[in-house]
Amino acid sequence: MNNQGPPGPYIPRHMPEALKGLVGLALDLRWSWHHGSDQLWSTLDREMWESTANAWLVLNSVSGQRLQELAGDADFLALLAAQIAEQDAYNLRDTWCDSRHGEQAVDPVAFFCMEFGITESLPLYSGGLGVLAGDYLKAANDLGVPVVAVGLLYQQGFFRQALNLDGEQLEFHPYNDPTMLPLAPLRDDAGEWVRVAIELPGRQVHLRTWRGRVGRCELLLLDSNDPRNEPGDRGITSELYSGQLEKRLQQELVLGSGGWRLLEQLGLNCRILHLNEGHCAFAALERIRSFRQQHGLSFEQARHSVRPGNLFTTHTPVASGIDQYPPALVRLYLGSCCADLDLSVDQLLALGRDPCNGLGTTDHDSTEPLNMAWLAIRLCGRVNAVSQVHGKVSRKLFRPLFPRWPEADIPIEVVTNGVHTPSWDSPESDAVWTRACGKGRWCGAQDLPAEPLCAVTDEELWRMRFRQRQRLIGYARARLVAQHCEQDNPAQVAEACGLMLDSEALTLGFARRFTAYKRPDLLLYDEERLVRLLNDHNRPLQIVLSGKAHPNDSTGKAILRRWYRFINRPDVVGKVVFIEDYDLQVASQMVQGVDVWLNSPRHPWEACGTSGMKVLVNGGLNLSQFDGWWAEAYQPGVGWAIRPFPEFSRLDDSPAHDGPDAEELFDLLENQVIPAFYDCDEQGLPNAWIGMMRASMGQLTPYYSANRMVREYCEHFYLPMRQQLEARTPEVGRELDAWHSELTLHWQQLRFGQLVIAQEGDETVFRVQLHLDGLRPEWASVELVADPDGEWPPQKVVMSRSGPLAGTNTYTYECRVVTGRPAAHFTPRVVAAHPLASLPLEFPGILWFR
Ligand SMILES: *Cc1c(COP(=O)(O)O)cnc(C)c1O
């Protein structure tokens, strides 16, 4: 285990000696979720802590006089000492990783991502991808998996939202003052601020580095706002997800090339490089560049040498969601990188293009862009999607890279996303779970009993729900007052908002990006039917909504306006509310308070969706399209699914199913959800509902956690990948390069001869000849395969080789199959073989017997 120790001697302001320990506490972002130090920050400056939830800002803005006072306050010093002791104990404790993989996990995993959503006071994210990266990092810390995360420090995070009186979205871009973010400049041993430089056309760009701490893990952030840079370059990291393609490419170069250089400059020997989404694929390119120079290899030799150490996680379900750069931009920005790699720009482009256009050659004069996801796949040794459904979608999406391969064999694995449970639980549910399963239950291997909540009574669970709902309603009312403060009479507004929502009513939550495929307007499909549900006097439904539309998404904005008009209908006032400016804080309040979480994307377009997982720990139930994670988690009794078990064969985004899906959503609400909530026994307890809460909380919470996700990445990816990488010495890199060239040279010439099928007893014998041209016979493998057909499962048998036929390079391959299956089901095929290669990723050739 590498000991990253406390942050360097970074003391930003004069601190009394007795309080210096506050610096180390304020710079460890664990305060954002563990709540142990809340009282400490609140004592320093209550108002600042409550309005910003930023411990670092509290520490930097509190007056010197107040610090002096507290330095002599025995109670405060005791509180501080207790927190420091707690932090030390936490950071030194024996973790899951130490006990399970102690000897192996020495060097940190490098985890790259464009955005990180850890806390609202570090607003460097826009949505799901960033929140997931934040949850990943927190869970890695809990488990003791050493991770160094690399990202960008944006001067502006994602836009902040308000709605005007017409329901139009207004967008604001507040400035992130980096010195007030809970980060410290990264300094070297001599106290110098660490900088890295990358080359852009005709110039160098200097990058400043910042360091955030998530317990034992680190978050390193690069920032181009260095006064030594040209003014334009200072703005490269100015905003998150710039709409300008060129700036986007600059950002990805800063992140990828700058990030990997930084890790090397710091002497961190990261063996595993995890690319979270294709944006960061240039990190893998930089890794090759560096390895090549160290070992005097060609580009291809170096690519083969490091590839098993790279993992690519794709999060995108649609081709248009992938970054693609036109050749001219690539030529301009990557020309010097290519020269360093001894690679032509066309060769680089070919790594991010469809191999069937120009048959993978580099001489086709194409305008085809460089696809960052394809580049990532060609530089990585393993690839994964983020839910089972997304796995299927991705195998379709990435099929062009594996021409003629059956979809099921396309090497995209799956790790279903999860959420960092301790960041999303409410104080009430934390208390219930602590009593049932003890403290620290979410940090280790999560070996919970099958029914973890059996000691908790129905009454307690129902009281927990009530308090959570009540708190959300209080929060929503306060937010609504603030949202409407521009209106004429503030007192009236406050009074009106105080009457909104009902603490006893079934509360449905919907919060996400407002964009067409997520169908935030599915409930508006039949407005009158919705109005009837909201106005049912005995069994009312109420709705809390939130979500932003991307600034360029006019459809999303139109949906916002529709909801806004609906909310202001006189007959539903106070029953549907919209909380502006959806962010981590709003999300956290909503997932704690709602009874039902609604998600209604168009199938199969939700890659995973994690927001619904956040309600599990709090006893909220999911009512969702059978898509993303819910397609794995759903079973009757844990929640409700719209159109369970659908088939999809084509990827289309047509609204054809919107009507029937909306119908089904209303039917579920009317016939199942609402009755279950209001059907109470004599004690006022809805037994069926509470039964579902128990099932959902107990069965789903541990599995749909980032804790489980990180353990999967660790055990199924990082550790085996490290072993594979160990075996890839530069010599093996050379050997595999030669192997690859030979295969490329001869593959088109491979030719099947005759196929002979004979029945011998109850065995069917298949014999086929294959002309290997000049290829070594060990480098090809002939397989006999059968597709699934009716009751027959898919089958694959490796055929054994004999020969060659005299004077030729033609071999006979044979196998015997004992099934009653018709011989016509079976077809031989030849694929590449090598004991050390990961196939078909590293050579996707395939030839079928026809
Ligand atoms: C969890 C979360 C998301 C991702 O939710 P989806 O289910 O993917 O829509 C987005 N934004 C915030 C603020 C979140 O907390």
Q: What percent of the chain has pLDDT over 90?
A: 86
Contact, 589 vs 475, CB < 8 A?
yes
Q: Could you give the CA distance from residue 125 to residue 131 in angstroms, rounded to a whole number?
A: 7
Which of 132, 142, 168 lies closest to 29, judged by CA?
142
Which of 627, 658, 667, 619 lies closest to 507, judged by CA?
619
Which of 386, 550, 610, 615 maximizes ligand 1 atoms within 8 Å of its Cβ, making it the mutation to test the pocket? 610
State the average pLDDT over residues 210-225. Answer: 96
Q: Is the pLDDT of residue 360 over 60?
A: no
226 CA distance to ligand 1 middle (Å):
32
Query: Is the Cα dihedral 658, 384, 789, 318 positive or negative?
Result: positive
Q: Is the pLDDT of residue 80 over 80?
A: yes
State the average pLDDT over residues 455-480. Answer: 97
- Kindly write down the DSSP assignment for every residue of 737-769, as one continuous string: HHHHHHHHHHGGG-EEEEEEEEEETTEEEEEEE
**Superfamily (CATH) of domain 421-701:** Glycogen Phosphorylase B; (3.40.50.2000)
Q: Is 271 helix (H, G, I), strand (E, B) or coil?
A: coil
Token duo for residue 845: 């050739």
> Which residues have C-beta within 8 Å of that of residue 713, sequence separation ≥ 6?
274, 311, 415
What residue has token string 């009512």? 623
Contact, 455 vs 435, CB < 8 A?
yes
**Beta-bridge partners for 756:** 767
- Burial readout 295-316 (b: 16 or more C-beta within 10 A, e: otherwise): eebebbbbbbbbbbbbbbbbbb
pLDDT in tens, 622-664: 999 999 999 999 999 999 999 998 876 566 677 888 999 999 9
The confidence band for 492, taking pLDDT boundaries of 50, 70 and 90, is: confident
- Kindly write down the DSSP assignment for every residue of 61-97, as one continuous string: HS-HHHHHHHHT-HHHHHHHHHHHHHHHHHHHSPPHH
What is residue 491's predicted lDDT score, i.e. its pLDDT? 80
Count CB neighbours of 168 within 10 A: 12
Q: What's the DSSP call for residue 400?
A: G
Check if 610 has its Cβ closer than 6 Å to any atom of ligand 1: yes
The domains of the chain are located at 17-92, 96-160+171-414, 421-701, 740-848
Token duo for residue 156: 């502006």
Q: Is 211 helix (H, G, I), strand (E, B) or coil?
A: strand
Range list of H helices, 324-456: 327-341, 345-350, 372-379, 388-397, 421-424, 427-437
Contact, 830 vs 844, CB < 8 A?
no
Q: Could you give the CA distance from residue 685 to residue 679 in angstroms, rounded to a whole number?
A: 8
Q: Could you give the CA distance from residue 642 to residue 626 in angstroms, rounded to a whole number?
A: 6
128 CA distance to ligand 1 middle (Å):
4
* R_g over Cα of the chain: 29
Which of 485, 443, 353, 329 lies closest to 705, judged by CA?
443
What is residue 10's predicted lDDT score, i.e. its pLDDT? 62
State the average pLDDT over residues 134-158. Answer: 96
Q: Is 780 helix (H, G, I), strand (E, B) or coil?
A: strand
**Superfamily (CATH) of domain 96-160+171-414:** Glycogen Phosphorylase B; (3.40.50.2000)
Pair type for strands 795-798 and 846-848: unpaired
Q: Is 113 helix (H, G, I), strand (E, B) or coil?
A: coil
The confidence band for 3, taking pLDDT boundaries of 50, 70 and 90, is: very low
Which of 49, 54, 47 lies closest to 32, judged by CA?
54
Element (H, E) at 771: strand 763-771
pLDDT in tens, 669-684: 999 999 999 999 999 9
Check if 131 has its Cβ closer than 6 Å to any atom of ligand 1: yes
Q: Is the pLDDT of residue 751 over 60?
A: yes
Check if 418 has its Cβ closer than 6 Å to any atom of ligand 1: no
Q: Could you give the CA distance from residue 376 to residue 285 in angstroms, rounded to a whole number?
A: 9
Q: Could you give the CA distance from residue 807 to residue 801 in angstroms, rounded to a whole number?
A: 16
Q: Is the pLDDT of residue 419 over 60?
A: yes
pLDDT in tens, 319-340: 888 999 999 999 999 999 999 9
The confidence band for 100, taking pLDDT boundaries of 50, 70 and 90, is: confident
Contact, 506 vs 686, CB < 8 A?
no
Check if 591 has its Cβ closer than 6 Å to any atom of ligand 1: no
132 CA distance to ligand 1 middle (Å):
8
Check if 419 has its Cβ closer than 6 Å to any atom of ligand 1: no
The rounded Cα 700 to chain-centroid distance in angstroms is: 19
Nearest-CA residue for ligand 1 atom 4 is: 128
> Which residues have C-beta within 8 Å of that of residue 444, sequence separation ≥ 6?
95, 96, 142, 143
Which of 705, 704, 702 lies closest to 448, judged by CA?
702
Nearest-CA residue for ligand 1 atom 9 is: 512
Check if 348 has its Cβ closer than 6 Å to any atom of ligand 1: no
Element (H, E) at 558: helix 554-567
How distant, in Å, are the alpha carbons of 339, 507, 511, 827 from that of 850? 43, 60, 52, 8
What is residue 484's predicted lDDT score, i.e. its pLDDT? 82
What is residue 320's predicted lDDT score, i.e. its pLDDT? 87
Q: Give the number of the atom of ligand 1 that is nearest the alpha carbon of residue 132.
A: 1
State the average pLDDT for the chain. Answer: 93
Single-letter residue type at 515:
T
Q: How many CA atoms are closer than 13 Å to the CA of 185, on its beta-carbon side?
A: 17
- Kindly write down the DSSP assignment for every residue of 568-621, as one continuous string: T-TTTTTTEEEESS--HHHHHHHHHH-SEEEE-PPTT--S---GGGGGGGGT-E
709 CA distance to ligand 1 middle (Å):
17
418 CA distance to ligand 1 middle (Å):
12
The confidence band for 6, taking pLDDT boundaries of 50, 70 and 90, is: very low
Q: Is the pLDDT of residue 301 over 80?
A: yes
Element (H, E) at 694: helix 687-695
Q: What is the CATH number of domain 740-848?
A: 2.60.40.10
Token duo for residue 70: 């507290």
pLDDT in tens, 754-773: 999 999 988 999 999 999 99
Q: Is 662 helix (H, G, I), strand (E, B) or coil?
A: helix
Q: Give the number of the atom of ligand 1 that is nearest the alpha carbon of residue 612.
A: 7
Contact, 370 vs 348, CB < 8 A?
yes
What is residue 487's predicted lDDT score, i.e. its pLDDT? 67
Q: Could you give the CA distance from residue 600 to residue 664 in angstroms, rounded to a whole number?
A: 11
**Beta-bridge partners for 25:** none
Q: Give the number of the atom of ligand 1 that is nearest the alpha carbon of residue 511.
A: 9
**Beta-bridge partners for 784:** 797, 828
How distant, in Å, are the alpha carbons of 244, 318, 515, 821 from that of 405? 36, 21, 34, 23
Tell me, yes or no, if the two domains 421-701 and 740-848 fold the same way: no
Q: Could you give the CA distance from residue 52 to residue 67 in angstroms, rounded to a whole number?
A: 19
630 CA distance to ligand 1 middle (Å):
15
Check if 323 has its Cβ closer than 6 Å to any atom of ligand 1: no
What is residue 70's predicted lDDT score, i.e. its pLDDT? 96
Check if 252 has its Cβ closer than 6 Å to any atom of ligand 1: no
Range list of H helices, 696-850: 706-712, 719-727, 730-746
Q: Is the pLDDT of residue 28 over 50?
A: yes
**Beta-bridge partners for 641:** 624
What is residue 241's predicted lDDT score, i.e. its pLDDT? 82
pLDDT in tens, 186-209: 999 898 999 999 999 999 999 999
**What is the value of pTM for the model shown?**
0.96
Check if 584 has its Cβ closer than 6 Å to any atom of ligand 1: yes
State the average pLDDT over residues 223-233. Answer: 95
Range list of H helices, 634-681: 658-668, 674-678
Count CB neighbours of 683 within 10 A: 9
Nearest-CA residue for ligand 1 atom 5 is: 611
Q: What is the four-CA torsion angle of 444, 4, 132, 398, rounded to 10 degrees?
A: -110
Q: Could you give the CA distance from residue 274 to residue 113 in angstroms, rounded to a whole number?
A: 9
The rounded Cα 781 to chain-centroid distance in angstroms is: 36
Element (H, E) at 129: helix 128-143
Contact, 244 vs 325, CB < 8 A?
no
Q: Could you give the CA distance from residue 577 to residue 479 in angstroms, rounded to a whole number?
A: 10
Q: Give the number of the atom of ligand 1 that is nearest the alpha carbon of residue 586.
A: 13
Contact, 533 vs 674, CB < 8 A?
yes
